[in-house]
Amino acid sequence: MALLQENLLLLLLFFCMALLVTSIRQYTPPNVTHLTDLFSHVPFDQGLSTYFGGPNIKLINNGSYANIALDKSTGSGLISRNKYYYGFFSSAIKLPAGISSGVVVAFYLSNTDVYPNTHDEIDIELLGDDKTNVWVLQTNLYANGIVSTGREEKFYFWFDPTEQYHQYSIIWNSHHKVFLLDNIPLREFPNTGAFASTYPSKPMSLCITIWDGSAWATNGGRNPVNYTYAPFVASLTDMEMSGCISTAKEVVPSCPKSNPSGLEPVYGQEFAQLSEQQRIAMNWARSKLMFYSYCKDPSRFKGILPPECK
């Protein structure tokens, strides 16, 4: 009987591993310019501080690496010491391996601490999947606390994000917001002036967190976090933050004197618009990997899609 149970367990494990492999899209991404090569790395202990869950945060190698963990007692997170107005933000992240349902790792900009009722957000949310245990990537943005105007889009990975570090990046300036994965643009949201209510306009902090999103990320809590597999650890490195720093709510952010364009901390042509190479790569990612877009969900908006969807 024990031998039979052992064989059944091995068979189940093999099936789960096969499902994992087949669920990850096996694609070779296009070549793109590596914007992450243009910025210096910021040690975690210099650029960020504890947001919550201090005991579950570990700094390694003089702050070059950081581990943030979720266990049954708490999640954890880091927050930038400065608030930024526009900029380039990036970190290499290795996600927790194994059963991940309900676990959320977020790399995002927010000012909810200063504007609790009218805050802005630009989000990359990495969601432990509740069906195949394969992670998915969600992008979102909203402004002035109007969560209902969120613009979510979801993507599969073309690799296993738990095996090694991959770069998650955000460009935010007066021209557009761009979400990038390993320097490949997944999504661009232009600042045309027509959608001011959804374009963040106030200084924000950068946050990196891991937390229990069971009720939100798993179809109303159908597949909550299984703490038998805790702790869930996300490992971080290659932190980059380059933006105009805001020291107070009312103060105009200050930019480096070497920056010729005032409030544009990322002012080169490579940040003002996507190159042809980047646009081709973005079209590849959206056609191969995107499986949900708010623009294709009319039921959410009662049949009237947001204007940019047209």
Question: What digits encode the pLDDT tens for the residues 176-189?
Answer: 999 999 999 999 99
Question: What digits encode the pLDDT tens for the residues 127-156?
Answer: 997 656 689 999 999 888 776 667 899 999
Supply the residues annotated as catalytic.
121, 125
Residue 32: both structure tokens together = 């793109």
Instruction: Name residue, tokens 């708010």.
Output: 294
Residues in the chain: 310
Of 194, 198, 169, 182, residue with least CA distance to 271? 169
Of 79-88, 146-155, 233-242, highest mean pLDDT: 233-242
Instruction: Name residue, tokens 């969120």.
Output: 150
pLDDT at 12 over 50: no
Peptide bond into 306 cis (omega under 30): no
Percent of the chain residues topping a pLDDT of 90: 59
CA dist., res. 52 & res. 212, Å (int):
13
pLDDT at 10 over 60: no
Percent of the chain residues topping a pLDDT of 70: 82
* 59 SS3 class: strand
Domain spans, the chain? 35-297
Going by CATH, does the domain composed of 35-297 fall within 2.60.120.200?
Answer: yes
